[in-house]
Amino acid sequence: MEPTVLPVLEVGTTFDADGRALPTAVVDGTNHPEVADLARVHAMEGVGDLRTEAMRLPTDRPDVGDALLLGVRMTSPVIAMFVLVFDLEAHRPMLRHAGELGALVIAHTPPSSAGDDHPAWLSINLDGDALAAHLA
């Protein structure tokens, strides 16, 4: 099974029902229903077994910054794998926040339409220490 690779289009904050600010990564799930549907599965079946792994991808090009790849592997309630690609320079503050909380929300629709669409977004737990090691 090859993981789906999803560039992070923008980052921001989602507020949960208790008013807690959660770091959020926005991806385009339009052509990736196997990933976009995970939020529904998560809501219906529970969290299941999910693991993450981060990897810094340096570049030798002066016009392109380093990337941070966040691999996500779910083994229950369904099997799924995908990789989020972050622009390390632009997304570093949000990634630090995610590492501190040990959590990340993955939005499959733009935040500007969330008020009207009420989409289900996927919230995942992260290994915050492992993520932080790649941000230094």
Q: What is the mean pLDDT of the chain?
A: 86
Q: Which residue has better confidence, 112 or 15?
A: 15
| Lowest mean pLDDT across 37-46, 62-71, 113-122 | 113-122
112: pLDDT strictly greater than 70: no
**Mean pLDDT for the stretch of residues 79-101:** 93
Cβ atoms < 10 Å from Cβ of 43? 12
55: pLDDT strictly greater than 80: yes
15: pLDDT strictly greater than 70: yes
**Mean pLDDT for the stretch of residues 110-128:** 74
> Per-residue confidence at 17, pLDDT binned at 50, 70, 90?
confident
113: pLDDT strictly greater than 70: no
Q: What is the DSSP letter of 113?
A: G
User: Using CA atoms, how far apart are residues 52 and 83, in angstroms rounded to an integer?
Assistant: 9
